[in-house]
Chains A and B, each alone.
Chain A
Amino acid sequence: MAAEAISESRAGGDFWDGVRLSMPVVVASAPFAILFGAIAVDNGFSVLEAFLMSAMIYGGASQMVGIELFGQHVAPWLIVLSIFAVNFRHVLYSAGIGRRIAHWPLLQQAAGYFILTDPQFAVAEARAVSGKPVGFVWYLGLGLPVYVFWVIESGLGAVFGKMIPDTHALGIDFLLPIYFLGLVLGFRKRPLWLPVVAASAAASIIAYRTVGSPWHVSIGALAGVLLAVILPPHHSGIGERP
């Protein structure tokens, strides 16, 4: 009984640890959820469809792109392909985080991958690097608030979208780059961090100017990852130094 209570409060503590870390994400993503709902309705979605898209796809940038193309009456298969392209970076997250959560029961893993967003990956990966276990309860505490707020705020945006004030003055369009910069800097103690950041930044900017969005994300990411693959592994702190 006593042991049960202790392990329960441990699990509860893990959950709230995750919730605490989710708060910046909830704040940063709120304007985008509301904006998405508003734009979705503006482009011909019903409130229910906007709500469903957030609940089922749960990927902000890809939802915006999908809505935009839908509004321009692009062929459905092309809309789906574009959503896939924007979300393609998750393949790398999936391969990375798989090493940390492979010991979870299968259903928990299935749920874990469903909520694998940019911040979810970055914060979970940072925890794994710092030597702490990435448990399901903690991971859920980190991801669930973001998901719930995202879906509800999308619905609110769809219903009340017309009432949004000047988003530029509120800095809404630039909140996510700020947050992502903080995440990038959080990994600065990793071996090869600076060369990888430099390679990805250069490649993504060149690709953004030439190939265009959203491909600059995959191309830039690949450049950084390839650099780490090509350099002898000891540069990445793996294995023994020669």
Chain B
Amino acid sequence: MSTTFWIILAGAIATYLTRIGGHLVISRFENIHPRVEAGLNAVPAAVLTTLVAPAVLGAGPAEWAALIVTALVSLRGGLMAMFLAGAAVLIIARQFVG
């Protein structure tokens, strides 16, 4: 087997450990402390924000326009409508401001 294959296999195992690890740790406890539960409830907003924030800061007018439209549409529409609206604004805006 090539080195590449072993890198892929080890990477896959490491990744699966992260995907199952949090559950394995938490499930060892009979009761979840209210503060831990509060922390878990904060996970979606906390993690997903870190995937957006640095990208927003490093972006330009075209990207900002797309994000603003995305935010406005998300107040009313569903996930697909929001995504398509944001993508459309981005592609159109980039034809003008690159």
Contact = CB atoms under 8 A, between A and B. Distances in A.
A150 to B, nearest CB: 14
Contacts of B49: 184, 196-197, 200-201, 204, 220, 224
A56 B9 CA distance: 7
Interface in A65-115: 66, 70, 76, 79-81, 83-84, 87-99, 102, 110, 113-114
A122 B94 CA distance: 29
Contacts of B4: 44-46, 49, 70
A28 B83 CA distance: 9
A151 interface: no
Interface in B19-56: 19-27, 32, 34-56
Nearest to B47: A221
A164 interface: no
Interface string B55-98: 11101000100110011001100011011101100110011001
Contacts of A83: 11, 14-15
Contacts of A84: 11, 14-15, 17-18
A46 to B, nearest CB: 8
- Main SS class of interface, B: helix
Interface centre among A23, A182, A197 (most CB of B within 10 A): A182
A148 interface: no
A5 interface: no
Contacts of A28: 83
Interface of A: 21, 23-24, 27-28, 44-46, 49, 52-53, 56-59, 62, 66, 70, 76, 79-81, 83-84, 87-99, 102, 110, 113-114, 116, 118, 121-123, 125-126, 168-171, 174-187, 190-193, 196-197, 199-201, 203-205, 208, 213, 216-217, 219-231, 233, 235-239
